[in-house]
Amino acid sequence: MTTMTPPRYNAADLVQFSAHLFEMAGMPSDRALVVGSSLVEADLMGHDTHGLQLASAYLDSIEHGLMTVSGDPKTLSDHGAVITWDGQRLSGVWLTATALDLALDRAKTHGSATIVIRKSHHIGCLAAYLTRATERGCMAIIASSDPSECSVAPFGGKQAVFTPNPIAIGIPTANDPILIDISASITTNGMTARLKHQGQRYPGHWALDSDGNPTDDPSAILTDPPGTILPIGGLEYGHKGYGLALMIEALTQGLSGFGRADGKASWGASVFIQAFDPAAFGGLSEFTQQTGWIAEACRATPPAPGHDSVRLPGDGALARKRHALQSGLQLHPGIMDNLAPHAERLGVVMPSPR
């Protein structure tokens, strides 16, 4: 039996390829390029469930009329420092990148700016947007929830109310940025499906079965009626993850004015995007002096048993990105296979490995 090493691609070729796919599917070319490069950025960072893996699902969505390819978001309110958009089910990847860029522009004027989006299509990998902010010397927070889904129970309960509710934070320092990407739940739907597929267990009691009993079995989430994923803190102090979940529900669905109260049929992600310009507060160099000091203090912390070193969030992703840009990007084998029919249908030539 031989194991085939997955081929390596030039990242630029994958960006061009995926952008071409979305363009041929009807998206304006500049927008298609934002979507393609954001998906490849996620792969470069190692978030391989939220990179090009999503492209075939997005192309399916376009084909079935579930993602709008052209037109602009509808501005529901604009007060300078805060903006509310109806995303019109446009690409969430494009909406999020565009909203963050706009929030950064507005933060240069107002010090901080917040944009919330209702009825966005799926926004992909939250961490992949953060360097848009940190490269401009700004801090950004992105959070998202999906009112049409739920898999996470409130603390003390045994039925799902929330999505995992991711939140990502980009923090500039004098050197590499800190890139945080976490969720209010212990684990995610994607990780649950992957562990179940691999016949593995959660590393701890991260879920409840449908009777509310703690379990490390990912298949307990997928029964009928389903079990639930626990908020961070789990059985011991799950009120903390529960609090974060509620905060993110309020920031995304509350502020955008669209969410679970509108019923499950009302599909669409709700998104919160916030930018801070440190120059408008205590100063950019004062900001990076503090964040750089903290980053170095963490890296210099003696490791606990079982750890080689203390890393900063984003260190691993940035190292993977540098390596993949130099040596080529390896994709999971199934990704290109899933895109091949779309490429054929849309008349797009598949990229060659380097």
* Site membership for its own copies, residue 301 (CB under 8 A): yes
Question: Rounded CA gap, 100 and 154, in Å?
Answer: 30
Binding residues with its own copies: total (CB under 8 A):
90
Near its own copies by CB under 8 A, which window of 31-39, 107-115, 331-339, 345-353? 107-115
Of 185-204, binders to its own copies (CB under 8 A) are 186, 203-204
Looking at the Cβ atoms of 117 and 335, the one nearer to its own copies is 117
- Whether the CB-CB separation of 218 and 196 falls below 8 Å is answered with yes
- Whether the CB-CB separation of 180 and 257 falls below 8 Å is answered with no
Window 252-291: contact mask with its own copies (x via CB under 8 A):
-xxxxxxxxx--------------x-x-xxxx--xxxxxx
Looking at the Cβ atoms of 309 and 352, the one nearer to its own copies is 309
Near its own copies by CB under 8 A, which window of 65-73, 150-158, 325-333, 340-348? 150-158
Q: Which H helix or E strand runs over 183?
A: strand 178-183
Closest Cα to residue 18, out of 3, 39, 2, 4?
39
Looking at the Cβ atoms of 56 and 165, the one nearer to its own copies is 165
Looking at the Cβ atoms of 123 and 153, the one nearer to its own copies is 153
- In one-letter notation, the amino acid at residue 271 is V
Tokens read off for 354: 């380097």
Residues in the chain: 354
- Whether the CB-CB separation of 269 and 92 falls below 8 Å is answered with yes
* Site membership for its own copies, residue 208 (CB under 8 A): yes
Beta bridge partner(s), residue 163? none
One residue of 1, 3, 197, 236 binding its own copies per CB under 8 A: 236
Looking at the Cβ atoms of 20 and 132, the one nearer to its own copies is 132
Tokens read off for 108: 């240069």
Of 16-55, binders to its own copies (CB under 8 A) are none
Looking at the Cβ atoms of 132 and 260, the one nearer to its own copies is 260
Q: Evaluate the CA torsion angle 294, 295, 300, 306 in order and state its sign.
A: positive
Near its own copies by CB under 8 A, which window of 4-12, 43-51, 54-62, 240-248? 240-248
* Site membership for its own copies, residue 129 (CB under 8 A): no
One residue of 15, 90, 99, 116 binding its own copies per CB under 8 A: 116
One residue of 178, 269, 336, 343 binding its own copies per CB under 8 A: 178
Place of tokens 């879920």: 207
Looking at the Cβ atoms of 239 and 345, the one nearer to its own copies is 239
Window 54-93: contact mask with its own copies (x via CB under 8 A):
----------------------xx-xxxx-x---------
Place of tokens 């945080």: 180
Place of tokens 């307990």: 220
Question: Rounded CA gap, 94 and 273, in Å?
Answer: 13
* Site membership for its own copies, residue 171 (CB under 8 A): yes
Closest contact distance (angstroms) between CB of 99 and its own copies is 13
Looking at the Cβ atoms of 55 and 107, the one nearer to its own copies is 107
Question: Rounded CA gap, 78 and 251, in Å?
Answer: 17
Cα separations (Å) of 338 from 53, 190, 343, 353?
8, 18, 9, 16
Angle (deg, nearest 10), helices 333-346 and 55-63: 30
Angle (CA) 223-226-228 rounded to 5° is 125
